[in-house]
Amino acid sequence: MKSRPIYENLDTSFVNVPALIRYLRRRRFAGRVRIELSGYEADVFLSAENQMRVREYDQIAGRVAEGEEALQRILIRSREPGGIVNVFQNVAETEPVAEIFGEVKNVQTPKVSATTNGSPAPVDIFANRNGVHSIPEPVQQPGKTSLPNLPFEFSNRVEAKAKQKSLSPEEAKLLLKLLGELLGTADRALSLARLNFAGAYQKSCMEICADFPFLMSLDYEKGRISVAEMPSANMFVAGVMEALRKILDKLAAHPKFADVHRFTGQKLTALAQQRSDYYKRYGIETLLKRMLGV
């Protein structure tokens, strides 16, 4: 797939990158978001199937990384002012082009200049900003073992660990139902005071998505939640509950909403007693007690 720019030279001083990515994922956008800062470059790749992959290149730290930890760093760095954001959309073509994360075939190795000691100079894998970022294959010498001309290790251990800890479909469905019921209880309590819980919860998710990136794809509506990709159970529960805690803390901070806060806490406590076994199983009970101060 080729790509074409649809947004160019957006300044990170004025662009909320997490909100931009969330918007694109909801529209099933296929392409990539590129963030460029001083000594730092990153790409967030999105597919029409709502899958997301990332890659960051920290020139100062000498690190090329992928996975969940890389995404968190990207979202944090994107808050820095003075950076540039470009959005490229995938477009079809008559002849296929190698995917960035796929196998690169028939790519001509670029000429590499030699350093003063005669060894090849390091290859800048992000040199081509508008094309395919390919890595030339090392030249094999007879009787010698060649190594890639890169000082970095390309691995995805963080993502692999997340997959190993992922929930079964049945457990994921149960956890979504439990947390959806919990949020729905708070939603109904706030609605009695004509407060928009759904809007407040979405805003709360965006405020903490740097720590919990999966919240960018989480949707809540009338006691039901859905997420594009389920992380580990502990991470998922922690993110959903943290977003809820921020709402309750804001209610508690205003004397005007003291009764609403108290009523909501009572409803959540009653629900926790009914679902005690499940809440203990997934660590919801501990976070809820801490949230309500009981």
Higher-pLDDT residue of 144, 266: 266
Cα separations in angstroms, 159 against 48, 136, 181? 20, 25, 29
List the structure tokens of 166. Answer: 């992922």
Over the Cα atoms of the chain, what is R_g? Answer: 23
> Structural domain boundaries of the chain?
1-92, 165-292
Average confidence (pLDDT) over 217-236: 86
Q: What local confidence, expressed as pLDDT, does residue 119 receive?
A: 46
Question: For all residues of the chain together, what is the average pLDDT?
Answer: 77
Q: Rounded to whole angstroms, how far apart are CA atoms 46 and 156? A: 18
Q: Which of the four pLDDT bands, split at 50, 70 and 90, describes residue 240? A: very high
Q: Which of the four pLDDT bands, split at 50, 70 and 90, describes residue 1? A: low
Q: What local confidence, expressed as pLDDT, does residue 162 receive?
A: 40
Q: What local confidence, expressed as pLDDT, does residue 92 receive?
A: 75
